[in-house]
Structure 1
Amino acid sequence: MSTVLGIDIGGSGVKGAPVDLSAGDFAADRHRIETPAHSTPANVAEVVARVVDHFADQLAPDSPIGITVPAPVRHGRIPMMANLHEDWEGLEAESFFSDRLGRAVTIVNDADAAGLAEVQFGAARGTEGVVILTTLGTGIGTAIINDGVLLPNTELGHIEVDGHDAETRAAMSVKENEDLSWKAWAVRLQRYYETMQMLFWPDLFVVGGGVSKKHEKFLPLLELETPIVPAELKNKAGIIGAAWLAAERAS
């Protein structure tokens, strides 16, 4: 299958697009609908169904769907949820959405989906060994992929660096809240990435999140043995990665 629908469920919006997996890009413009204020699984599933219906004429009847969520996912089940309704906790999400949509559904953590997309189609394409994606935003999201195989649900934004939870010192939101200069923020990023390097010795760091558009302001200030590069797929990565993983599991 060359075209698979990817959907990204977030706290503010549900976004989806069919993905051309031969090109690693959207096959049509992204469609976005606001996340319901009462964001129970049932209410969000109704919005997801509307996104699927929007692209129905571009999908094969048996085409799977990949869906990202802002939560860990264990074998299709969501053990905890921070940004949506508490009813998500303990949800057998893959079977729930498969039943609602009438299609095979793969559920994946949003950072993990972005990491897979960057490895398959973006900044880490062709890299052998261990790739660590970090998303610098409100917190620090992470994904680890080794030779194309995902180690799911890592929370390496919460490693301890100099006695602090790393993301409370080095997330992009902290730079903004404390009005740090790029140079001052880079000092904190240096400590974070060199600690990650010491723990995992990856072959490549990929830096995502909206701030990656300004990578020239801070990445050159970092001194690491591991190469570190900006993400390429930007806000498309989660949708593309979810679609790719759904296709892989269906093949």
Structure 2
Amino acid sequence: MEVLGIDIGSYGIKGAIVNTVLGEIISKKKTTGELEDTRPHKLISKMHDIVKQFDWDGPIGCAFPAAMNRGIVLSANRINEAWVDADADHLFSEITGCSVNVINDTDATGLAEMTFGAGKNQKGTTIV
């Protein structure tokens, strides 16, 4: 399965198409400019821009710089406080027309490492 992976970080938004079976990036990485404004409408617009760069209409996985619970933003330490209680899954899905699943960026890193990296096939508890 191919998914557009998007990382919303302090320095901008990065994206690439990923083969989720192999855990491999299969496209060139594309980025937006620096994020000077992280209010919801600005990030939503930047997300739309990067999806358009890929001419993408499939599923999207998004790493987001906030505590999340089932797509709902719980904190705003690294983004504008207007995000708190926002349904990021819904907002990003609505603007892109794609199915979008948003999780915390650190959780995304840990999940990828345990699925495709050093933690693959390891047993036990992992704390990120």
TM-score range with shorter-chain normalisation?
over 0.9
Say if 1:98 and 1:105, in contact at 8 Å, map to a contact too: yes
Using the aligned pairs only, state the percent identity: 33
Aligned residues: 128
Q: CA deviation at 1:17?
A: 0.5
Letter in 2 for 1:78: V
CA distance in 2, matches of 1:127, 1:93: 32
Q: CA deviation at 1:129?
A: 2.4
User: Does 2:16 match 1:17?
Assistant: yes
User: Structure 2-normalised TM-score?
Assistant: 0.92
Structure exhibiting the larger radius of gyration computed from Cα positions: 1
- CA change 1:35–1:84 in 2 (3 A) is farther
- For structure 2, the residue ranges without an aligned partner over 5 or more in a row are none
Greater helix fraction, Structure 1 or Structure 2: 1
CA contact 1:10–1:69 (8 Å) conserved in 2? yes
Aligned ranges 1:209-248 → 2 under 5 Å: none
SS of alignment partner, residue 17 of structure 1: strand
Q: Report what 1:95 is aligned to.
A: 90
Partner AA of 2:46 in structure 1: V
The answer to whether residue 27 in structure 2 is matched with residue 28 in structure 1 is yes
User: 1:71 aligns to what SS in structure 2?
Assistant: coil
Note the aligned Cα RMSD (angstroms).
1.3
Write the distance in 1 (CA, Å) between the matches of 2:68 and 2:97. Answer: 21
* Unaligned stretches of 5+ residues in structure 1: 133-141, 143-251
Per-residue deviation, 1:49:
1.1
Hey, what does 2:7 align to over in structure 1?
Answer: 8
For the residues of structure 1 that align with 2:82 and 2:119, how far apart are their CA atoms? 36
State the one-letter code of the partner of 2:101.
T
Shift of 1:99: 0.8
The Cα offsets for residues 188-222 of structure 1, whole Å up to 9 and x where unpaired, read as xxxxxxxxxxxxxxxxxxxxxxxxxxxxxxxxxxx
Query: TM-score, normalised to structure 1's length?
Result: 0.49
Q: Secondary structure in 2 aligned to 1:22?
A: coil
**Which whole-Å deviations, capped at 9, do the CAs of 1:162-189 have from their partners, x for residues lacking one?**
xxxxxxxxxxxxxxxxxxxxxxxxxxxx
Equivalent position of 1:122 in the other structure: 117
2:37 aligned with 1:38: yes
Structure 1 runs (4+) greater than 2 angstroms displaced: none
Provide the secondary structure at the position in 1 that maps to 2:112. Answer: helix
How far apart, in 2, do the equivalents of 1:46 and 1:94 lie? 14
Q: Which amino acid aligns with 1:15?
A: K
